[in-house]
Amino acid sequence: MDNRSKVLNCAVTLFAQKGFDAVGVQELVDCAAITKPTLYHYFGNKRGVLDTIFVERFQPYLNLLAQAADYQHDLPLCLQNVLRVSFDFAQRNHTLFQLFLSITNAPDKSESFAATQPYTERQFQIIQELFFKAAQDHGNMKGRHNAYALTFIGMINTYIFFSFHNQIELNEDLIARSIQQFQYGIYS
Amino acid sequence: MDNRSKVLNCAVTLFAQKGFDAVGVQELVDCAAITKPTLYHYFGNKRGVLDTIFVERFQPYLNLLAQAADYQHDLPLCLQNVLRVSFDFAQRNHTLFQLFLSITNAPDKSESFAATQPYTERQFQIIQELFFKAAQDHGNMKGRHNAYALTFIGMINTYIFFSFHNQIELNEDLIARSIQQFQYGIYS
DNA sequence: CATCTAGTGTACCAATCGGTATACTAACCC
DNA sequence: GGGTTAGTATACCGATTGGTACACTAGATG
């Protein structure tokens, strides 16, 4: 594997396990079995490594999500697709998604938070648009697409978070139950 | 105000805004207008400051929570109390709760995560026990108290998180809606 | 073959990191 | 008054921080 990929792989693991601030550049290059100038050649600085991780490795999730969230007048199906895509990506990119979650909840003024902000915003946008369109089909949802988006994203991230801590399993049963419960909240 | 309290106040703010790892001891003592030996006299080391914050300032929330979660055969009322206590504490201790949330979601092997672990576990215990007792009154809840506890805690923390980002308001309306939606999930 | 560029290693930088040795002061108790 | 203790300041420690100057090599291109 080329040095650039080695750095990214090590960075995902180390940042996810110890946190962006707690990982030194030296530790990172040791893990990747390279030297500092190589890292600075590819990424400019430490922050550049984090940015690259999101651009190259997390962006694909948002693309899949946008696809799954394409509303075709079947809300339960659409929500099901969104959950499936999210759970699937989180399971196949365990460490990466763990990194995303930790930084999303990180302090506002931390350096790492700035790196994820565009991606959390995009995630919210996608889900919000889905509920906005759905609200045009379901009258009693009108004016609440914002609240639905927040609750739904919160649910997604919460379940993925607990799955990482082995307290829950991201299976079809959970998907079905989640959507059922969510629908009750909507049609009431 | 005594120097000890000044350190704790500054630490809550700085840790919550920038993250535990990103705040240096020097920055902390400058903020509190004291010198290093004073800090090390009171807290032993940097980690000791964080520990003290949780022991002295966050523990009161868990005490209130345990009180509110005392199940008296009225589940909706009990959940309402839990939400009220949580939202109220989060609003009156904005920065402190923000710190708690960020560390709860922080990487497993980060130093700060170890500091909150006992408190997140206790929070889970309290809610789990509430649902365990409730399940004895409601047959269709049996065997699922664990899942209910996770979902409910996730909901609490999610709403508080979004309120910090000015995307939601922690009012009585939200409490009512949350419980209603949660009940639909239970009795189905 | 000559040249250029991407990539990489050695060695180094000032600044900051968490933490401490030591001495001093003020308040207390006997 | 003598001794003890808590609290605070000056000055310092070795280690590590993020980052870089410079020299070198290998491969591509003319």
B116-157 pLDDT, tens per residue?
999 999 999 999 999 999 999 988 888 888 889 999 999 999
pLDDT in tens, B48-76: 999 999 999 999 999 999 999 999 999 99
Q: Which residues of A touch B104 (CB under 8 A)?
A: 105
User: What average pLDDT does the structure give for chain A?
Assistant: 94
pLDDT given for residue A181 in this prediction: 82
Q: Strand C closer than 7 Å to the CB of B138? A: no
Residues A28, A10: contact at Cβ < 8 Å? yes
pLDDT in tens, A102-148: 999 999 999 999 999 999 999 999 999 999 999 999 888 888 888 89
B149, two tokens: 């506890």
CB contact residues (below 8 A), chain A span 64-93, against chain B: none
pLDDT in tens, A69-84: 999 999 999 999 999 9
**Closest protein residue to D8 using CA and C1' atoms?**
B38
Compute the nearest-CA separation of B68 from chain A (Å). Answer: 23
pLDDT at B184 > cutoff 80: no
Q: Strand C closer than 7 Å to the CB of B180? A: no
Which nucleotide is closest to the Cα of A44 by its C1'? Answer: D19
**What is d(CA A28, CA A166) in angstroms, rounded to the nearest whole number?**
28
pLDDT given for residue B188 in this prediction: 60
Query: What 3-state DSSP class applies to B15?
Result: helix
A80, two tokens: 């099901």
Q: Does B155 touch chain A (CB under 8 A)?
A: yes
Q: Does B106 touch chain A (CB under 8 A)?
A: yes
pLDDT given for residue A71 in this prediction: 96
Q: What is the mean pLDDT of residues B21-31?
A: 96
pLDDT given for residue B183 in this prediction: 82
**What is d(CA B170, CA B163) in angstroms, rounded to the nearest whole number?**
7
B33, two tokens: 């207008």
pLDDT at B164 > cutoff 70: yes
Q: What is the mean pLDDT of residues A87-115?
A: 97
Residues B109, A18: contact at Cβ < 8 Å? yes
**What is d(CA A14, CA A27) in angstroms, rounded to the nearest whole number?**
9
pLDDT at A44 > cutoff 80: yes
pLDDT in tens, A160-184: 999 999 899 999 999 999 998 888 7
pLDDT given for residue A143 in this prediction: 86
pLDDT given for residue A188 in this prediction: 60
Nearest to residue B123, comparing CAs of B53, B63, B50?
B63
pLDDT at A86 > cutoff 70: yes
**Closest protein residue to D18 using CA and C1' atoms?**
A25
Q: Which residues of B touch A162 (CB under 8 A)?
A: 150, 154
Q: What is the mean pLDDT of residues B176-187?
A: 82
Q: Which residues of B touch A110 (CB under 8 A)?
A: 17-19, 22
pLDDT given for residue B6 in this prediction: 95
Q: Does B115 touch chain A (CB under 8 A)?
A: no
Nearest to residue B123, comparing CAs of B142, B95, B97, B144?
B97
Burial B57-89 (b: 16+ CB within 10 A, else e): bbeebbebbbebbebeeebeebbbbbbebbbeb
pLDDT given for residue A17 in this prediction: 96
pLDDT at B185 > cutoff 80: no
Q: Which residues of A touch B188 (CB under 8 A)?
A: 180-181, 184
Q: Do A188 and B180 touch (CB under 8 A)?
A: yes
Q: Strand C closer than 7 Å to the CB of A34? A: yes
Collect contacts of A149-154 with beta carbons under 8 A, ≥24 apart.
A149/A124, A150/A124, A150/B158, A150/B162, A150/B167, A150/B168, A151/A182, A151/A185, A151/B158, A152/A79, A152/A82, A152/A127, A152/A182, A153/A123, A153/A124, A153/A127, A154/B154, A154/B155, A154/B158, A154/B159, A154/B161, A154/B162
Which nucleotide is closest to the Cα of B21 by its C1'? Answer: C17
Q: Which nucleotides of C are covered by protein (CB under 7 A)?
A: 7-12, 16-23
